[in-house]
Amino acid sequence: MADPIHQFVIQDIIPLNIGGIDLSFTNSALWMVVAAGLSTTVLTMAMSRASMVPGRLQVFAESTYSFIANMVRDNSGHDGMKYFPFVFTLFSVVLMGNMLGMIPYSFTYTSHLAVTAGLAVFIFLFVTALGFARHGLHFFEFFSPAGVPLALKFIVVPLEIVSYLTRPITLSMRLFANMMAGHLVLKVFAGFCVSLMSISIVASVIPMAFNVIMIAFEFMIAFLQAYVFTILTCIYLKDALEMH
């Protein structure tokens, strides 16, 4: 039976080793390049012949823009709009990673903890630096919410600190686990389909039907996870900018 884990194996395309560091161009890197290239080209092409009455591509580009712009405005306030390009880039990186992963034989780079953790740690450090730059040492007050009695502070403050420190872990784990689990399920059921074929073709229709539903479901998850990832970035930005 086909190995369901095999789809996650990183393969070198152009082996490269500089100063003992493995810098090979891998299948993961290839799909990152495809994602960056595709999103840039599509958006540039869509807006290059912008007209008052938009075509299909322009409507797509404009509605994506306003979707993210509204998200940033609603979740991180007017101050947050300064970081709109950052959030938009993040959304396209994650969405492209998830969606391109749905193409057969492609590679889902968001199914690797190294990638999602890299993004999440970057967001975490960026937001924390932003908080300290804005509020100086007052940013520590973030961990001690107003209106909490002194006796409860001994419990709430450590909890707030732990909750803050585990943010990059929750953020990266959610995306990675969802993408990885979804693709595993698809592969496992496809495997069932093949092995049931030796018993009877009729029986193998059942896992196939399930897989068809799962693929639709996976498309939804792909979008939803990108949405959740971006909305949380907006919320973290707001916390850093406004502190509650």
Partner 1 sequence: MTNDEDKLKTLQAQIDALKAKTEPAKGDGTTADSRAMSVGMRAGTELVGATVGAALIGYGLDRWLGTKPWLLIVMLLLGIGAGFLNIWKLTQNQDAPPSEKKIQDN
Q: Which residues bind partner 1 (CB under 8 A)?
A: 52-53, 70, 73-75, 155-156, 158-160, 162-163, 165-166, 169-171, 173-174, 177-178, 223-225, 227-228, 231-232
Minimum separation from the CB atom of position 46 to partner 1 (A): 20
Nearer to partner 1, 15 or 158 (CB): 158
Minimum separation from the CB atom of position 33 to partner 1 (A): 29
Minimum separation from the CB atom of position 241 to partner 1 (A): 16
Nearer to partner 1, 162 or 203 (CB): 162
Cα 12 to the center of its chain, rounded Å: 24
Of 243, 234, 236, 244, nearest to 81 by C-alpha is 234
Of 108, 116, 63, nearest to 233 by C-alpha is 116
Minimum separation from the CB atom of position 117 to partner 1 (A): 11
Q: Measured between alpha carbons, how far is residue 8 from residues 101, 102, 104, 128, 218 in Å?
A: 11, 13, 13, 32, 16
Nearer to partner 1, 28 or 178 (CB): 178
Structure tokens given for 89: 């880039």
Minimum separation from the CB atom of position 171 to partner 1 (A): 8
Of 40, 44, 103, 85, nearest to 230 by C-alpha is 85
Phi, psi of 228 (to 5 degrees): -65, -45
Nearer to partner 1, 203 or 216 (CB): 216
Nearer to partner 1, 28 or 230 (CB): 230
